[in-house]
Structure 1
Amino acid sequence: MKLLVTGVTGKVGGNFLPAFLAAERFAGWSIRAICNNRVVEHPGVEIVRASLADADAMFAAMEGVTHVLHMAAVKESPLLAMEVGVGGMFNLLEAFRSTPGTRQFVLLGGDCTVGHMFQRYNEPITDAAPRRAYPGCYALTKVLEEVMLEQYGIQYGINGCCLRAPWIMEKDDFRFALSFSDQFGGPPWSELIDAGAVARHAQAASVPLLRDARGAPLRRNFIHVDDLVGAILTALDHPAAAGQLFNIAMDAPVDYGEVAQYLSATRSLPVAEIDTPFHSNWLDNAKARLLLGWKPQVDLQRLIERAWDYVRAPDDPRKVWYPG
């Protein structure tokens, strides 16, 4: 078996690669990685330097491949989003369907396709829920990727599987996602409260208790990168994954009220209540638990404790890469 991987130098890819190479189930598999701006250095990985927008390069990279894991993405850069994000997905699918011996195409999707906290749902979000992206080209590209994978299954009978993940956490990400002084991710506090309030909360090291559009504590979906990698490894070559879309999320969304209560009780941190226009949603992972036998191991308490206990080395900066 030969696995072709994109996005191997990203957050998920960096955690997936050592787990894949160490997994006994994949002993004997070989791995080829498509890299462009950044290159992974590992003796067990064959590197192809190319852009996903290069159709000829994608056909060449697919030679001998049995499985594809597509994790690369382009963020808010409209031109690249269309040329590399959408065009790259098309090139990969065309090469995959045209190459003899290919067996499975796995796509790492995102809950931006259902709008996560920007769209309101009155019931849990399953794989059957309508796609309702929030504004922006990144969310649009992820919707188009899901649709393309689905249609290639209908049109050409390829075996596709989409793993739809929410915000992916590792190391101390979650701690700084809640920070008023060095925020990681968004939306930025400046869009919700004034600069004076941000400064006061930063000085007090407060914990944000976000409230949703209805006034209840906001519930937002997360997944720890270890659990996502576990889901990818489980889905690869799994017969029950054929033609399926799975939500890969924690068993319950993170409740900002529970987070504030826990950190107040365990670390005596003050709480800052903030009203937002966002919607509480529940990304239902029941299908993945049922068909794949996968279950997340990192619950809310573990998510918090891992983030607060983690000490980041000086040569390990927290980065968000744009584009892709």
Structure 2
Amino acid sequence: MRLLVTGLTGKVGASFLPAFRADERFAGWQVRAICNNRVVDDPDVEVVRASIADAGAMRSAMEGVTHVLHLASVKETPQLAMDVGVKGMFNLLEAFRQSGTPRQFMLISGDCTVGHIMHPYQEPITELSPLRPYPGSYALTKALEEAMLETCRVQYGINTCCLRAPWIMEKDDFRHALSFRAQFGGPPWTDLLSEADVARYAELDAVPLLRDRKGAPLRRNFIHVSDLVSAILAALDNPAAEGQLFNIAMNAPVDYAEIAEHLASTRGVPVVDIATPFHSNWLDNAKARLLLGWRPLVDFVELVERAWTYQRAPDDPRIVWYPG
């Protein structure tokens, strides 16, 4: 078997590769990576240096490939959105279906396609919920990718699988997501607060207790990268995943009041109450738990503890390749 991976140098890809190699089910598989701006430094990975927007390069790269794991994406970078999210996805699908060896094409998508905290839902968000992307090029391209994947499955009968993940956390990401200093993710605090308030809360090392549009503590969906990787491995080459879309999230959304209470009680962190225009939503993962036998291991307490106790080594600088 030969697995073609895009985005192997990113957050998910870097965690996926060692877990993939440690799984006995994939012993003897070969890995080929499409690299453009950053290159995988691994002698056991065959590197193809090309842009996925290059149709000819994708046809060549797909030779002998049985499985595709498409991780590559761009965030709010409109000038690249069409190249990566539309042309790139189309080129990969076209090359895969015509390769002569196609077995499974897996896409990693995001809850931006259903609007995460930007749109209200009166019930849990399931795989049957309609696409409701929020404004912006990232959500647009992810919605188009999901639609293209399903359309290609219907048109040509190829085996596809889509894993839809919320905000992916690793290392100290979650601590920075709650920081008023070096903020990770958005929208910027200055969209909700004055610059003076942001500076004051940063000086206090406070954490936010965000409230949704109704005034209740905001509930937002997250997933630790290790749990997303375990879901990818559970779905890879699994007949139960054929033609399926799965929500891959924690068993319950993170409640900002519970986070604030935990940090205040365990670390004495000051808490500030912040009103937002956002909606509390619940990304339901029951289908993945049922069909794949997958279980997320990182709950909100573990998410906090991992982020607050993580110590960066000198050769492990914090690099944010995109805002959130």
Shared fold per TM-score greater than 0.5: yes
C-alpha displacement of 1:35:
0.3
Q: What does residue 144 of structure 1 align with? A: 144
**d(CA) in 1 for partners of 2:79 and 2:198?**
34
C-alpha displacement of 1:186:
1.3
Q: What does residue 67 of structure 2 align with? A: 67
1:301 aligns to 2:304 (yes or no): no
1:180 aligns to 2:186 (yes or no): no
Q: What does residue 105 of structure 1 align with? A: 105
- Contact 1:209–1:217 (CA<8 Å) still a contact in 2? yes
- Contact 1:180–1:201 (CA<8 Å) still a contact in 2? yes
Aligned pairs (5 A) from 1:277-288: 277-288=277-288
**d(CA) in 2 for partners of 1:112 and 1:315?**
32
Q: What does residue 47 of structure 1 align with? A: 47
Identity within the alignment, %: 72
- Contact 2:62–2:96 (CA<8 Å) still a contact in 1? yes
- Contact 1:74–1:323 (CA<8 Å) still a contact in 2? no
Q: Which amino acid aligns with 1:301?
A: V
- After superposition, give the CA deviation of every residue in 1:123-166 in whole Å (9 maximum; x if it has no partner): 00000001111110111000000000000111110110000000
Runs of 4+ with >4 A deviation: none
Q: Which amino acid aligns with 1:77?
A: T
C-alpha displacement of 1:315:
2.8
- After superposition, give the CA deviation of every residue in 1:30-65 in whole Å (9 maximum; x if it has no partner): 010000010001111000000000000001101000
**d(CA) in 2 for partners of 1:13 and 1:56?**
24
When residues 179 and 190 of structure 1 are mapped into structure 2, their CA distance, relative to the original with a 3 A threshold, is same
- Contact 1:115–1:132 (CA<8 Å) still a contact in 2? yes
Unpaired stretches in structure 2, ≥5 consecutive residues? none
Aligned pairs (5 A) from 1:118-197: 118-197=118-197
C-alpha displacement of 1:202:
1.0
- Contact 2:163–2:247 (CA<8 Å) still a contact in 1? yes
C-alpha displacement of 1:323:
9.9
Q: What does residue 76 of structure 2 align with? A: 76
TM-score of the aligned structures, taking structure 1 as reference length: 0.98
C-alpha displacement of 1:245:
0.3
**d(CA) in 1 for partners of 2:81 and 2:187?**
21
Q: What does residue 266 of structure 1 align with? A: 266
Q: Which amino acid aligns with 1:234?
A: A
Unpaired stretches in structure 1, ≥5 consecutive residues? none
**d(CA) in 1 for partners of 2:183 and 2:79?**
28
C-alpha displacement of 1:84:
2.3
Q: What does residue 2 of structure 1 align with? A: 2
SS for the counterpart of 1:43 is coil
- Contact 2:169–2:225 (CA<8 Å) still a contact in 1? yes
Q: Which amino acid aligns with 2:304?
A: I
Q: What does residue 202 of structure 2 align with? A: 202
SS for the counterpart of 1:223 is strand
C-alpha displacement of 1:190:
0.6
**d(CA) in 2 for partners of 1:242 and 1:29?**
20
C-alpha displacement of 1:322:
4.5
TM-score of the aligned structures, taking structure 2 as reference length: 0.98
Q: Which amino acid aligns with 2:106?
A: V
- Contact 2:66–2:103 (CA<8 Å) still a contact in 1? yes
- Contact 1:164–1:246 (CA<8 Å) still a contact in 2? yes
- Contact 2:85–2:144 (CA<8 Å) still a contact in 1? no
C-alpha displacement of 1:83:
1.8
**d(CA) in 1 for partners of 2:323 and 2:166?**
19
1:219 aligns to 2:219 (yes or no): yes
SS for the counterpart of 1:31 is strand
Q: Which amino acid aligns with 1:283?
A: L
- Contact 2:186–2:323 (CA<8 Å) still a contact in 1? no
- Contact 1:77–1:323 (CA<8 Å) still a contact in 2? no
Note the aligned Cα RMSD (angstroms). Answer: 1.2
- After superposition, give the CA deviation of every residue in 1:259-312 in whole Å (9 maximum; x if it has no partner): 001111111111100000000000000000000000100001100000000011
Q: Which amino acid aligns with 1:142?
A: K
SS for the counterpart of 1:48 is strand
Q: Which amino acid aligns with 1:210?
A: L
**d(CA) in 2 for partners of 1:244 and 1:238?**
11
- After superposition, give the CA deviation of every residue in 1:193-238 in whole Å (9 maximum; x if it has no partner): 1011111111111110000000000000000000000000110001
C-alpha displacement of 1:319:
2.2
SS for the counterpart of 1:4 is strand
- Contact 1:113–1:139 (CA<8 Å) still a contact in 2? yes
Q: Which amino acid aligns with 1:46?
A: E
SS for the counterpart of 1:15 is helix
**d(CA) in 1 for partners of 2:323 and 2:94?**
24
